[in-house]
Chains A and B, each alone.
Chain A
Amino acid sequence: MTRKLSVDMLTRVEGHGGVEVVLDGTEVKDVKFNIFEGPRFFENIIKTVHYEKIPDMTRRICAICTASHSLASIGAIENAFGVENTRQTDLLRDLLIHGEMIESHALHVYMLALPDFLGYPDAIAMSADYLDAVKNALGLKKAGNMIHTTMSGREVHGMNERVGGFSKVPTEDELTDVKNTLESVQPAAELAVELFKGFELSAYNESDNVHMAIDPGDRFGFLGTHVLVSGGERHPQEDYERLTNEKVYRHSYAKHSTYGGAPFMVGALPRVHLSHGKLTGTAQELYKEHGDMVDPRNTLSNNFCQALELVHCVERGVETIDALLSDGLEDEGLAEFEAHEGRGINAVEAPRGLLYHDYSFDEDGCIEKANIITPTAQNAANVEKDIRVIAANHRGEDAELLNNLEVMIRAYDPCISCSVHLARLR
């Protein structure tokens, strides 16, 4: 006789999703990562909109990765029109994306995932016994948001980063304040590693995973033009359609991706696994010490990798500000260029993995066609693979299975709002 187990609404994840498993004895008959977040049709609504306002719209796909979307969007537009940016713009953008990682990872690692490992329903309840951890989390998150506010104009859905540069370049004093704040939260970032290195990775979740992440160039980071795949493959970002083959399923407003017929994973674990040699400073030291926590076959490692990235981001933020201050900040205005007919594709690493924006423009620079592929949509098939693995390995109570599934899904740091409504316009 078959029986169906389900979590109707996942909690402590961004957006609305559920999980469903059909078992016959211990045999897994069917699994579903249900996504019932409503569709928002972004690729449709941005059609005919002038390029200059596109990032203001597409960043609203997601609140927690708003700057990732705006930078992916700006980059795609700049690639379409051949915009050349200054070193100052590149450094400021690098700082912004690192700030976004801090804000998002601090929230996820400490306030959404950590309660799973310490046995609390949420961070507020956890604060009764772990007030210090919660205060560290809030301090770290605030530092990330301070970068958002300084660079982008506010914490959520900023506006200051534009096609061709920044509308208002931050002052030296503002950047010095950010630097001081980052230095003050360095211990909070290291504490996250300290906490997560102590949690044993459950073996029930082990299986082969194909990883994909951006090639960050010489140093660990989140911006680049090529995509790395486990096994040493490297592809230009323009090949993204072949890397993500999307398909529609009734149980999900998010399309599912596969590569070479198999699911794959994006996010902190793939980034650290594929590019750990490019980490520097304390992050590299901590990797050397606790690298065994980075298990490519166990997606639960993602939490530890996010903690490690927090350390990287805080240190890199300080370095980037030092570079900006030593160059001296200039009110250089936006780069000059002419909009024309054309297509631009850009990939960036959002906190939860690879994100692609692809736009085609008419001769006035208005959108004719758009395609946006988010990390959680790419991960959806791999999540279902993990559900299958965990369910097949499970021999205990049903309630325990459902809890294990929820913890696994949460470890991906899914952003379900992002994952929907984003599909190819034909």
Chain B
Amino acid sequence: MKPRVGIFSLTGCAGDQLQILNMEDELLDLVSHIHIVDFQEGSSHKEDGPIDIAFVEGSVSTETDLKHLKEIRERSKVVIAFGNCAMEGGIQAMRNNEGSIDERLREVYGVEPGYFDARLSKPIGEYVDVDINIPGCPVEKEETLRAITSLLHGDTPTSFTYPVCVECKLKGYPCVIVEQGKPCLGPVIRAGCDARCPGLGLDCIGCRGPVDKGSGFAAEFDMLLEKGYSKEYILNRLRVFSGEVNDDFLEEEER
């Protein structure tokens, strides 16, 4: 029997499920090996019942998201945190350490608390057990395809446990930090992108999220301070895709 697959989205830009639709060469073959029971963005067909593999993209940012997520977990054997929003809370979590949701609602919408059902953006792992993580903003097509293939064969997909710098060196790109003084996050961000940005002469902005839960952030912070970047500038870089990373290193800095 074909595995029953659900593709779900919480709050985000829907870019991760778009990456599935972007597999133009593989899409028809791929869907012939699975049975899609829910894919709101791509289909009006929907089935109840158990799910073998649930892809969940987006972060939990409303009460509705949370309810939806719990229902998905309940009926799914394998839950995949699909992309940076599901895995880390996404770009919308970058200011979780600064100010409350009520202040933000007042500022952006000019409404009082309780007007909307919004909450601080959190990764799905905050509320339910996650079986597999596929990182990225957006996820890489090849990595996603590899993960699906592994799951179809009963294997566990592998993940990248080293930083972008490793791939950048393997590619032989000139280091944009050393050669150009750019604020590259390659040393602390998860590999798997083939160092795409340094390959284009750009510094890594961190879209694959922190490798090893943000170890090395303190050293990266110090290095960029030394290069002359301000504390605010560096935090605005480090937090974009790492909203939930512990920032104890800042306190050490202030001591």
Chain A contact residues, CB within 8 Å of chain B: 9, 11-16, 36-45, 48-50, 53, 56-57, 60-64, 66, 107, 111-112, 115, 121-125, 127, 134-135, 138-139, 141-142, 145, 153-157, 159-160, 162, 167-168, 248, 250, 253, 255, 417-418, 421, 423-426
- With A124-B31, A124-B36 already in contact, the answer to whether A40 and B91 are too (CB < 8 A) is yes
Partner of A38, one of B28, B42, B61, B111: B61
Q: Are B233 and A50 in contact (CB under 8 A)?
A: yes
| B240 at interface, CB cutoff 8 A | yes
A159 CB to nearest B CB, Å: 6
Which residues of the other chain, A, contact B202 by a CB distance below 8 angstroms?
A: 159-160, 162, 167
Asked whether A156 lies within 8 Å of B18 as measured between CB atoms, the reply is: yes
> Are B22 and A156 in contact, with the CB atoms below 8 A?
yes
Q: How far in angstroms is the closest Cβ of chain B from A264? A: 22
Name the B residues within 8 Å of A248 (CB-CB).
Answer: 109-111
For B21, what are the chain A residues with a Cβ–Cβ distance below 8 Å?
A: 107, 111, 141
Contact A12 B43, beta carbon cutoff 8 Å: yes
Q: Are B200 and A63 in contact (CB under 8 A)?
A: no
18 A-B interface contacts by CB (under 8 A): A12-B44, A38-B64, A38-B118, A39-B116, A40-B92, A44-B104, A45-B92, A50-B233, A57-B91, A57-B240, A139-B24, A153-B197, A156-B18, A157-B207, A159-B202, A417-B14, A418-B13, A424-B108
What residues on A are CB-neighbors of B196 within 8 Å? 153-154, 159
Interface residues of B in 11-48 (CB under 8 A from A): 11-16, 18-19, 21-22, 24-25, 27-28, 31, 36, 39-46
The answer to whether B18 and A153 touch across the interface, beta carbons within 8 angstroms, is no
Taking CB atoms, residues of chain B closer than 8 Å to A160 are: 200, 202
Assess the A124–B107 pair: CB atoms within 8 A.
no
Which B176-221 residues have a C-beta within 8 angstroms of A? 196-197, 200-202, 205, 207
Complex interface: chain A residues within 8 A of B27 (CB): 138
**From residue A49, how far is it (CB to closest CB) to chain B in Å?**
5
Inter-chain contact A62/B205, CB cutoff 8 Å: no
Q: Are A48 and B200 in contact (CB under 8 A)?
A: no
Nearest CB on A from B165, distance (A): 18
* Given A38-B118, A39-B61, A40-B91; A15-B104 close (CB under 8 Å): no
B43 contacts which of A11, A15, A424 (Cβ < 8 Å)?
A11
Kindly list chain B residues whose C-beta atoms are within 8 Å of the C-beta of A123.
42
| Bound CA span A35–B201, Å | 40
Q: What are the 10 A-B residue pairs with the smallest beta carbon separation, nearest first?
A: A63-B15, A38-B11, A38-B61, A122-B43, A121-B45, A142-B24, A40-B92, A121-B44, A38-B62, A11-B44
B121 at the interface (CB under 8 A from A): yes
Least Cβ–Cβ distance between A147 and chain B, in angstroms? 13
Q: Which residue of the partner chain B has the closest CB to A116?
A: B44
What separation, in Å, do the CA atoms of A42 and B13 have in the docked complex? 12
| Residue in A closest to B230 when the chains form the complex, CB atoms | A364
A209 and B40 CA atoms in complex are apart in Å by 29
Nearest CB in chain A: distance from B114 CB, A: 11
Instruction: Enumerate chain B residues within 8 angstroms of A162, measured Cβ to Cβ.
Output: 202
Of B16, B118, B197, which is within 8 A of A159 by CB? Answer: B197
Q: In the complex the two chains form, is A145's CB within 8 Å of B138's CB? A: no
Task: Check if B232 is an interface residue, CB within 8 A of chain A.
Answer: yes
